[in-house]
Amino acid sequence: MKQYSVNEEIVAKISNHLCELGNLEFDISGNHFLAQKGTDYSINNQEGNLRESNYFGRNLEYTLLVNGMKIPIVIQLYENIKKQYRIFLFGKGNKMLTSVNLTKGLDGEKIIFDIQIKISSPQNLSCEERSNIRDDIVKELRNNGLKADKKNHIEFGQYDIPSDQFINTNAEKLIKDLMIIGICKNREMFF
């Protein structure tokens, strides 16, 4: 079996699948979201400056329309300072809503898209309060069709490197699920 690593070539192939997406629609707990391509102004990282290493460019900038609100979000894919490729979902004010580590998700010939739901802030919360918040988020994700294991990992698809295809997902579903996870983790911004 060939040994794979997550590198520029593989990341560019994943990016090619995802950059072709248009508008997206989905529901979360009875709220209808329309993710329209583009934003009135770019929120792409660091006061609107696009990271040169962002594989998506401005192709995955969206305006979320929900409950009369217009909320800009952006999805980026780049190699971070730890030399790991990650897909990030950012909201207004460059707030990171969630991310998935492609480098750590490598499993043989596949990349597993997996996010563990953890609550680390605010610091003034007790362990019990954080656990309750995490459990509420996981329950909401389950109610919206995502699966969580006993350690609160949400696996929302895989990418098969040799065949250059998604497994148990497709480009549109992968991005919708990433948005759903980010929104559920940051409810106060969207509801």
* pLDDT tens string 178-187: 999 999 999 9
Confidence class for position 82, pLDDT limits 50, 70, 90: very high
Spatial distance between the Cα atoms of 46 and 118, rounded to a whole number of angstroms: 25
Confidence of residue 135 (pLDDT cuts 50, 70, 90): very high
The token pair at 132 is 């309750």
pLDDT of residue 105: 97
Average pLDDT over all residues of the chain: 91
- CA angle in degrees (0–180, nearest 5) for 26-31-34: 40
Q: Give the whole-angstrom CA distance, residue 188 versus residue 191.
A: 6
Stated pTM of the model = 0.93
Farthest-apart Cα atoms in the chain, separation: 52
Provide the residue type at 36 as one letter: Q
Q: Residue 78 has which token pair? A: 């780049």
pLDDT at residue 99 greater than cutoff 80: yes
Which residues are CB-contacts of 128 (< 8 A; sequence separation ≥ 6)? none
Burial 76-109 (b: 16+ CB within 10 A, else e): bbbbeeeeebbbbbbbeeeeebbbbbbbebbeee
Query: Which of 37-51, 62-76, 80-94 bottoms out in mean pLDDT, i.e. has the lowest?
Result: 37-51
Pick the range with the lowest mean pLDDT from 38-42, 146-150, 165-169: 38-42
Bridge-partner residues for 167, per DSSP? 158
d(C-alpha 77, C-alpha 10), whole Å: 12
Tally Cβ neighbours within 10 Å of residue 162: 10
Please give the pLDDT value at position 50: 54
